[in-house]
Amino acid sequence: MADYDTVLIRFGELSTKGKNRKDFINRLYGNVKYMLRDFEKLEYRKAYDRIYIRLNGEDHDAIREKLQKVFGISSFSFTEKVPSDIDSISDACFRIASQSNKKTFKIITKRHDKTFPMRSDEINRACAGRILRNTELKVDVHEPELAIRVEVHRDDTYITSEKIPGAGGYPAGINGKVLLLLSGGIDSPVAAYQLMKRGLQVEAIHFASPPYTSEAAKNKVLTLASMVSEYQGHMHVHMINFTDLQLNIYKTAGDPYAVTLMRRMMFRLAERTAEKYDCLALGTGESIGQVASQTLESVACINSVVRIPVIRPLVCYDKVEIIDLARKIGTYETSILPFEDCCTIFDPKNPVTKPTVEKSEYFEKMFDYEKLIDEAMNAMETVIVTPEKNDEDFL
Ligand code: ATP
Ligand code: MG
């Protein structure tokens, strides 16, 4: 094992320049530090195009796992930091090569400091020559088993044989706030992850219908929120009591239109909540065609009650793709716990697949839903969850 003492974090070519770039780096720097908050010995430094973390003996594998969750990182490497002089650089390359059991190699040098007295290919040749003379390794420039990367900066040079892909995207929170309709299902936690990956700060709104929905169902939602909050640090979850609206809908509209009307009410409440908390868009876990309420006709009919933009990150995903992502982010097992949701509890037998706005409005005129929306808004409760909160805290 090479003597890797420093993590080097790359954020690739940003299209954003100037102040945006500064905000990007500052936010990323804060998010990285937050993600690694349990490793007390780490020392951080940020530069124009890199973030450096001195490991001071902290555990590599644990840090690798955490860093792979930070949005805005294009790749990172565990590196050996040496002074920027050719002898030190060559020594480090040689150490890595001689400790490896690979057969072919290549040196890839990038000079960030153009005042370094040797050009990149001269550095490559100097380091490779020594390896060729003293080990069995052969050069393969096309598909080397061992790629030794050398990044020359003004004072220090970073050397590594691995480049770990980052999560990509933008640092969570840099692009404004969105209000996500969060159910206890599989899809909406995945939507939260996708929205955060675009750099959005996600707040959540959940509709519960006690006593028809249980405390356990509510806690499941908070647990899911806590799980995905890891990607942005914490999450505000606004809890809406939906019982009265739901009962009225069933009383007036009955079976086929119940789901359409429920979802129109959810959107109205969500838009009001978004305005209250300065969220510029709503988000949902909807995917076209998945269920009756997600046909194009349903989406249009439901969407027509709000003016705020609605972002649906999963709109073109297949269920299997969504499940794969849910497994990857660790929410799947919790999502499939069999707790009732306000949508499943009054599960209509024949939901309309092509609802119309006219018919929806006809039913909605039959009860004073504005008053019920006001009441639900006034009774809203907000819970702030963090990644530290796990199941036991809610159950
Ligand atoms: P999910 O797995 O996210 O529950 P789904 O495939 O079960 O999605 P629906 O139940 O029709 O589909 O819900 C579609 C979207 O509506 C959800 O992804 C979520 O954004 C929102 N939603 C549904 N029920 C609720 C709820 N009780 N509270 C908040 N949002 C909800
Ligand atoms: Mg659902």
Domain harbouring 184, CATH code:
3.40.50.620
Ligand 1 contact, 183 CB (< 6 A): yes
Atom of ligand 1 nearest to the CA of 341: 27
Q: Is 71 in a helix, a strand, or coil?
A: coil
Q: Tell me how long the chain is.
A: 395
364, burial (CB in 10 Å: exposed 0-12, middle 13-18, buried 19+): buried
Q: What is the pLDDT of residue 2?
A: 63
The total of structural domains in the chain comes to 2
367 and 321, same domain (yes or no): yes
Which residue's structure tokens are 């989406």? Answer: 299
Residue 1 lies in a domain: no
93 and 201, same domain (yes or no): no
44 and 86, same domain (yes or no): yes
16 and 151, same domain (yes or no): yes
- Answer whether 208's CB lies under 8 Å from 231's CB: no
Residue-wise pLDDT for 190-247, tens only, equals 999 999 999 999 999 999 999 989 999 999 999 999 999 999 989 999 999 999 999 9
For the beta carbon of residue 82, count every other beta carbon within 10 angstroms: 21
**Rounded average pLDDT over 103-128:** 94
What's the rounded Cα separation, in Å, for the pair 319 and 314?
9
**Rounded average pLDDT over 5-21:** 78
How far is ligand 1, taken at its centre, from the CA of residue 186, in Å?
9
Ligand 1 contact, 151 CB (< 6 A): no
251 and 330, same domain (yes or no): yes
Q: What is the pLDDT of residue 85?
A: 94
Q: Is 338 in a helix, a strand, or coil?
A: coil
62 and 157, same domain (yes or no): yes
Alpha carbon nearest to ligand 1 atom 17, residue: 285
Q: Which of 136, 165, 194 is the last residue of a domain?
A: 165
Q: What is the pLDDT of residue 48?
A: 84
Residue 57 lies in a domain: yes
Query: Is a pLDDT exceeding 60 seen at residue 7?
Result: yes
Among 285-294, 299-308, 318-327, the minimum mean pLDDT is found in 285-294
What's the rounded Cα separation, in Å, for the pair 9 and 6?
10
How far is ligand 1, taken at its centre, from the CA of residue 184, in Å?
7
Residue 170 lies in a domain: no
Ligand 1 pocket mutation pick from 178, 179, 180, 188 by most atoms within 8 angstroms of CB:
188
Which structural domain, as residue segments, surrounds residue 131?
6-165
**Rounded average pLDDT over 56-76:** 95
Ligand 1 contact, 285 CB (< 6 A): yes
209 and 232, same domain (yes or no): yes
**Token couple for 32:** 């990285």
How far is ligand 2, taken at its centre, from the CA of residue 189, in Å?
11
Residue 258 lies in a domain: yes
**Token couple for 112:** 């960030």
237 and 272, same domain (yes or no): yes
What's the rounded Cα separation, in Å, for the pair 193 and 182?
12
Q: What is the pLDDT of residue 298?
A: 93
Place 391 in a pLDDT band, splitting at 50, 70 and 90.
Answer: very low
Q: Which of 109, 136, 165 is the last residue of a domain?
A: 165
Residue 47 lies in a domain: yes
Q: Is 198 in a helix, a strand, or coil?
A: strand
Ramachandran angles phi, psi of 356, nearest 5°: -115, 155
89 and 189, same domain (yes or no): no
Q: What is the pLDDT of residue 340?
A: 74
Residue 185 lies in a domain: yes
**Rounded average pLDDT over 248-255:** 88
Taking the CA of residue 180 as centre, how many other CA atoms within 13 Å lie in the half-sphere pointing to its CB?
33
Query: Is a pLDDT exceeding 80 seen at residue 375?
Result: yes
First-to-last CA distance in the chain? Answer: 44
Q: Which of 140, 165, 190 is the last residue of a domain?
A: 165
355 and 249, same domain (yes or no): yes
Query: Is a pLDDT exceeding 80 seen at residue 349?
Result: no
Q: What is the pLDDT of residue 280?
A: 97
33: CATH: 3.30.2130.30
Residue 23 lies in a domain: yes
Q: Parallel, antiparallel, or unpaired for β 6-10 and 75-83?
A: antiparallel
- Answer whether 202's CB lies under 8 Å from 180's CB: yes
Q: Which residues surround ligand 2, an ion (CB under 5 A)?
A: 183, 185
Residue 146 lies in a domain: yes
What's the rounded Cα separation, in Å, for the pair 227 and 229?
5
157 and 186, same domain (yes or no): no
208 and 267, same domain (yes or no): yes
Mean pLDDT for the chain overall: 92
Residue-wise pLDDT for 43-54, tens only, equals 999 988 899 999
Q: What is the pLDDT of residue 16?
A: 57
**Rounded average pLDDT over 158-170:** 94
Ligand 1 contact, 186 CB (< 6 A): yes
Q: What is the pLDDT of residue 113?
A: 86
